[in-house]
Amino acid sequence: MTEKYLLDSNVYINFYNRYYQENIFPSFWRGIIPILNQNVVIPKIVIDENYQDIWFANWIDLNYLLPILNQKDYLHEWVDVLSCVGRNSCYKDTALESSRGWAQETIADPWIIAIALKEHLTIVTSEKRNPNLTSINPCKSAKIPDICDELGIRCITMNRFFTEIGLIV
């Protein structure tokens, strides 16, 4: 069985804005198409978070042939993710309740984790684990890798993803 991945919004932003601009790295964009269609699941909220780049949204529409997942189909798991953050003494209430807190329905991070939890997917993100996460000095925001660790979800970096899928451009 082929491993399935769910890429955080920041990975796509790395692709089109930071590292592999289409006009400079066309071989990357040709090479990633079959990988996305064989190995990657894309939820609507990730596309919504990347809406500001029209080129990328159009590129996904043209090249991603699988159904886009509706994150709201994972509401039960989303609540479980929020509960995980809420009951963890390593986080301040702002991790959920601020304008960028995970309880905001438009924040992709908890939805990504919820989908990965239910579908047994590996998350790919540029976020780093918080090495200083303790209840003595609670953090004001949650990070995907830390919550993945707590929920038993595999979480890897973009370069690890490239290695695992064998992308060579």
- 109-120 residue pLDDT tens: 999 999 999 999
Instruction: Tell whether 78 and 142 lie within a shared domain.
Output: yes
Answer yes or no: is pLDDT of 50 > 80: no
CB atoms within 10 A of CB 78: 23
Percentage of residues in the chain having pLDDT higher than 90:
63
Instruction: Tell whether 144 and 76 lie within a shared domain.
Output: yes
Confidence bin at 144 (pLDDT 50/70/90): very high
pLDDT in tens, 86-130: 999 988 888 899 888 888 899 999 999 999 999 999 999 999 998
Instruction: Tell whether 59 and 124 lie within a shared domain.
Output: no
Residue 94, pLDDT score: 87
Q: What is the DSSP string of the chain?
A: ----EEE-HHHHHIIIIII--TTT-HHHHHHHHHHHHHHEE-BHHHHHHTTT-HHHHHHHHHH--SPPB-GGGGHHHHHHHHHHHHT-TTB-THHHHSTTSTTSTT-HHHHHHHHHHHHTPEEE-S----TT--SSS-BSS--HHHHHHHHT--EE-HHHHHHHHT---
Instruction: Tell whether 119 and 79 lie within a shared domain.
Output: yes
Residue 29, pLDDT score: 94
Instruction: Tell whether 56 and 117 lie within a shared domain.
Output: no
Instruction: Tell whether 17 and 87 lie within a shared domain.
Output: no
Residue 17, pLDDT score: 84
Answer yes or no: is pLDDT of 51 > 70: no
> What integer is the mean pLDDT of 12-32?
90
Which residue pairs, CB below 8 angstroms and at least 24 apart, start in 61-65?
A: 63/33, 63/36, 63/37, 64/36, 64/37, 65/37
Instruction: Tell whether 77 and 149 lie within a shared domain.
Output: yes
Question: If you average pLDDT over every residue of the chain, what do you get?
Answer: 91
Count of domains in the chain? 2
Instruction: Tell whether 82 and 125 lie within a shared domain.
Output: yes
Percentage of residues in the chain having pLDDT higher than 70:
98
Instruction: Tell whether 145 and 80 lie within a shared domain.
Output: yes
Owning domain of residue 42: 5-69+157-165
Instruction: Tell whether 55 and 95 lie within a shared domain.
Output: no
